[in-house]
Structure 1
Amino acid sequence: MFFKIKWLFSALFLSLFLKKIRFPTFIAFPVFFKGLNRVSIGKHVRIFPGCRLETHGDGEIIIEDDVSLAQNVHITSGTKLVIKQGTLITANVYITSIDHNYEEIGVPIPRQSHKYSETIIGKNCFIGMGVAIQAGTILGEQCIVGANSVVRGTFPDYCVIAGVPAKIIKIYNKESGEWVRV
């Protein structure tokens, strides 16, 4: 219980710098933030130690209510990046709305421009350990992403995706009430 009080005070302190925060929300240090004034955090959000949230340029991160970010989650945004309510993101996950250009031969990649694509994680999603969600990805409601998957693209509601690159392996059949292999 003591750690929750400590995490609540951390969130209170950070509220001075965030664009928006709703309480109760719990944030455990150490956490790395860049561009806090473009980060909005909903109610009942839990951010565990080692998380990194950063915005670049016009980037914006919106974390809705009842979201949990486990240890060592890295979220970086150069445009709008939304994690909708009820989503659980497990440890060592990377989510971005930024791609690096590489087309200019002879120019180091860090010196080349970036491409920005809106990234949205739907309501009640589960993101497995070690997942990389790339720029422009849109996950529907209640998507389950298998551990160590690399995700890019648009995925419908109620599906299980996994692999490198990630693809749909199961879809929920509303008529039978079962998850069906694709």
Structure 2
Amino acid sequence: MIFKIFWILRGLIYKPFFGKYCLPSYIGKPIFIGNFKRIFIGKRVRIMPNARIEVVDKNSSIVFEDNISIAQNLHIISGGNQELRIGKNTTFSANVFITNVDHEYQDIDIHIMEQKLIFNKTQIGENCFIGYGAVIQAGTILGKQCIVGSNAVVRGHFPDYCVIVGIPARIVKRYDEKSGSWKKTDKDGNFIDIESKSC
């Protein structure tokens, strides 16, 4: 894949501008990168083309830990003097949006874009998989190895080892350490006892 050679060269050109950029990472042609110095990229981070990576103020940051695979059209925004961290070994499908920024909307006499911004900690745990078209909203904390379904709209705190789907997203499965298997759950993440429900 000769095009990846160009992506590696692009990364080398960008390297002095980032807060941190470790090799062998690479980046396809982005749409926009805002505030390079507040973006920190670990080893083996692979970013496909058309990413939009934005840090909206001088004290916020985005941290990509090691060995992260990002498909095309990622849009990620961090603001409010907060760090938005992506855990190591995480994979993103295409067209994913992640933010720690919300717009206030409650004053009906003021245009939404003129109302204040609201910031909430957002973090993706290690070894997560984020499905195609997923939206990770401000205030979302994903634990280790969470699986987010395609087109899910996610907000809230989710424990390690869970499968999250839907709009709004909810837990449908979790890993049960006692049995060593993945089990179905109710919407609150409690295991469903299938045997007791059978006739």
Report the TM-score range of the alignment, normalised by the length of the smaller protein.
over 0.9
**Rounded Cα–Cα distance in structure 1 between residues aligned with 2:42 and 2:172:** 31
Q: How does 1:1-182 map to 2 (within 5 A)?
A: 1-57=1-57, 58-78=59-79, 79-182=82-185
- Please list the CA deviations of residues 5-62 of structure 1 after superposition, one character each: whole Å capped at 9, or x if unmatched: 2111111111121111111101011341011111000000000011110011232100
Distance 1:31 1:44, change over 3 A: farther
Give the alignment's Cα RMSD to 1 decimal. 0.9
CA contact (8 A) 2:46 2:68 kept: yes
d(CA) in 1 for partners of 2:69, 2:100 = 19
Return the index of the structure with the highest Cα Rg.
Answer: 2
What runs of 5+ residues in structure 2 fail to find an aligned partner? Answer: 186-199
Larger fraction in strand: 1
Q: Name the SS of the counterpart of 1:71 in structure 2.
A: coil
Q: Note the C-alpha offset of 1:173.
A: 1.1
Other structure's SS at 1:13 match = helix
Check the 8 A contact 2:30/2:52 in 1, yes or no.
no
Report how far residue 104 of structure 1 moved.
2.0
Once superposed, which parts of structure 1, at least 4 consecutive aligned residues long, lie more than 2 Å away? Answer: none
What is the one-letter code of the residue matched to 1:51? A
Report the 3-state secondary structure (helix = DSSP H, G, I; strand = E; otherwise coil) of the residue aligned with 2:73: coil
Deviation for aligned residue 1:71: 0.5
Q: Secondary structure at the match of 1:168?
A: strand
SS at match of 1:124: coil
1:118 CA drift (Å) = 1.4
Q: Percent identity among equivalent residues?
A: 49
Q: Are the aligned partners of 2:125 and 2:143 in contact in 1 as well (CA < 8 Å)?
A: yes
Count of residues paired in the alignment: 182
Q: Mean alpha-carbon deviation: is it higher for 155-164 or for 49-58?
A: 49-58
CA distance in 2: counterparts of 1:91 and 1:12, whole angstroms: 24
In 1, distance between residues paired with 2:72 and 2:180? 33
User: Normalising by structure 1, what TM-score?
Assistant: 0.97
Please identify, of 126-135 and 28-37, the stretch whose mean Cα deviation from structure 2 is larger: 28-37
CA distance in 2: counterparts of 1:6 and 1:177, whole angstroms = 44
